[in-house]
Structure 1
Amino acid sequence: MRGGPSVLGIVLAGGEGKRLMPLTADRAKPAVTFGGTYRLVDFVLSNLVNGDILRICVLTQYKSHSLDRHVTTTWRMSSLLGNYVTPVPAQQRLGPRWYLGSADAILQSLNLVQDEQPDYIAVFGADHVYRMDPRQMLRQHIDSGAGVTVAGIRVPRTEASGFGVIMPGGDGSQVDSFLEKPANPPGLPGDPDRVFASMGNYMFTTKALIDALQQDADDPHSVHDMGGSILPALTEKGQAQLYDFGGNRVPGEPVREQGYWRDVGTLDSYYEAHMDLISDPPVFSLDNRQWPIYTHPGQLPPARFCAGGIASESIVSPGCVIRGQVTRSVLSPGVVVSPGAVVQGAVLHDNVRVGRGAVVRGAVLDKNVEVPAGATIGVNGDRDKELYTVSPGGVISLGKGRRVL
């Protein structure tokens, strides 16, 4: 931050994303397309850059080619000012092994910290959809004198088993304990049906992080994970503070979007987050010129609507050609919908082709999928389950380049 403390951003982007298969069969989860023209990693990078954290390392590992390429070609900062966003692949700096966990990923990349010598380190996850001003979290962290501040969001207790749960002390800020995906945690004082879930975003004082990583590396029983190892260790020492994301305010953000955060780690949550974009008014809007989400714009012509083609309650990206009927859907660049085709409640990635008279409902189709003339998806549930991936919530998904039968 110019004129303020030095902050290095570290984005953890090495996750495999098994629960988001088949979308992650050929790419890392942060590289998955979202909202038509974006990648999931664009949200965390936009939040950090908008918040004046302008030196950022993106730690990658699993099938990282498309992610590395996107970060390299899209996120070009001013080298004149010493700013950068750079992908950092696993380098085996500590021996012939890959990352053992998110904490080990940072441990193996401590040369980045030693080069920058920052006062503070923002360690953020790479695959969530939200807007956040990290400067507000940083100010609280500095004022508290804590070793780590963890961002938390209130979620129903019934959803707690999917998250790390932060148990605050009597003052509401000190973290008393951290429970990893508990089945039945106690509720919050005054709000017994909710808990604080960890967002996977941490603000560290540099020395506290380095000391914790080195101690964790010497523990043979550790899982070497930020949420499962580092945060509990600092909590036991009384060095962990909670930052309530519900109080974060982003310029240009309407009241209805305040506190919006989506973990899109499953097909159902990924699909539901897209439906949030196209509701009227949107639960989460991609249009905020005071806090934009950045991405590579591509070099495509505007979308075309021809021969009676229509689209309603939808996002239609550049390069699309619509000759059929599209409703409540999100279309990435280059999608073609042929005459007589019907696309309803679908998420279509780049260059999907929907043939004449075909029907696509309640589905997520990865890039280059071809739906032949007259084919159907989302019409015969039993047939769909036999041929394709179907989520617990009923979302049908086809992987990259798949041809519909």
Structure 2
Amino acid sequence: RFGIMNTDDTDRIIEFEEKPAKPKSNLASMGIYIFNWPTLKQYLTESYATDGAMEDFGHDVIPAYLTHNEASYAYAFRGYWKDVGTIQSLWEANMEFLNPNNPLNIGNRNWRIFSQNEALPPMFLTKTAKVAGSMIVDGCYVAGSIQHSILSQNVKIGEGSVIKDSMIMPNAVIGKNVTVDHAIVGENAVIGDNGKVVGKPNEISVVGYGEVLGRTEKE
């Protein structure tokens, strides 16, 4: 799942393994690189002139540097980092946001995280809404119960619905008396009244982008 950088005692990269089955170390490549531009340009130009353009850092560029004994060094990042290349890891990363002790503190004003800010009204909670340990943003309409979940922009939750341990993407519409548990509901998805989307902690259920579910169960 990860590209692995193997280094010597000076942190010089001596080998790059592209998603090995049995990695030799735990130094996963974060995909952040700093290059000397003239050197990189030379490799890209020569590659294009011979056997085609380099298209991938892990598959093309890094191996070329190592083959030609270019001095390349790893920087050991010891802060918070989470790969979100799988459904499970994406769900876990979002659930970690709800932990007040999460190392990535999105409320830290000294290290702000900026995102697109749409012109949306504040979230609206009806008298029937119940919210606990959750994150709800602008544009949301909530008439149901939200437990340990994240609601993105402009999400609609109908009366009697229960959203638990789940991540709801922007513009999703969830009807009345719906159960969503351990799930990721995609952007613009619709779950009709009395629908049921239930996963498990180690098997997250997914409703895809723009998918429409009626009264059927998805488990």
TM-score scaled by structure 1? 0.49
Are the aligned partners of 1:353 and 1:370 in contact in 2 as well (CA < 8 Å)?
A: yes
Aligned to 1:208: 39
Query: Which residue of 1 is the match for residue 190 of structure 2?
Result: 370
Q: What amino acid is the match of 1:202? A: Y
Q: What CA distance in whole angstroms lies between the structure 1 residues aligned with 2:42 and 2:30?
A: 23
Does residue 294 (structure 1) correspond to residue 114 (structure 2)? The answer is yes
Q: Is 1:402 aligned to 2:214, yes or no?
A: no
What letter is aligned with 1:272? E
Aligned ranges 1:1-400 → 2 under 5 Å: 162-171=1-10, 173-187=11-25, 195-218=26-49, 220=51, 224-236=55-67, 237-246=69-78, 259-378=79-198, 393-400=202-209
- Relative to the length of structure 2, the TM-score reads 0.88
| Secondary structure of the corresponding residue to residue 241 of structure 1 | coil
Which stretches of structure 1, 4 residues or more, deviate above 3 A after TM superposition?
218-224
- Aligned residue pairs total 213
Are residues 393 and 223 of structure 1, via their aligned partners in 2, closer, same or farther at CA, if it must alter by over 3 Å?
farther
The amino acid across from 1:169 in the alignment is D
The 3-state SS of whatever aligns with 1:216 is helix
Are 1:358 and 1:375, in contact at CA under 8 Å, matched by a contact in 2?
A: yes
Structure 1 residue 351: deviation in Å? 2.1
RMSD: 2.1
Mapped to 1, the partners of 2:204 and 2:72 lie a distance apart of 39
Contact 1:276–1:283 (CA<8 Å) still a contact in 2?
A: no
Amino acid of the structure 2 residue aligned with 1:301: P
Structure 2 distance, partners of 1:186, 1:365, is 37
Give the residue type in structure 2 aligned to 1:264: V
SS in 1 for 2:106: coil
Larger relative contact order (C-alpha < 8 A, sep ≥ 6)? Answer: 1
- The alignment partner of 2:43 has SS state of helix
- 3-state SS in 2 of match to 1:166: strand
Query: 1 CA distance for matches of 2:37 and 2:106?
Result: 33
Matched residue of 1:217: which SS? helix
Specify every segment of 5 or more residues in structure 2 that has no aligned partner in the other structure, as ranges.
Answer: 215-219
In 2, are the aligned partners of 1:315 and 1:331 still within 8 Å (CA)?
Answer: yes
Task: Give the structure with the larger helix fraction.
Answer: 1
State whether residues 48 and 54 of structure 2, in contact with CA within 8 Å, keep that contact through their aligned partners in structure 1. Answer: no
- Distance in 2 separating the partners of 1:313 and 1:265: 25
Q: Specify every segment of 5 or more residues in structure 1 that has no aligned partner in the other structure, as ranges.
A: 1-161, 188-194, 247-258, 382-391
Q: Deviations over 1:266-298 (max 9, x none)?
A: 211111110110123234332222221112211
Once the 2 structures are TM-superposed, how far is the Cα of residue 223 of structure 1 from its aligned partner?
Answer: 6.6
Alpha-carbon distance, 1:231 to partner: 0.8
SS in 1 for 2:184: strand
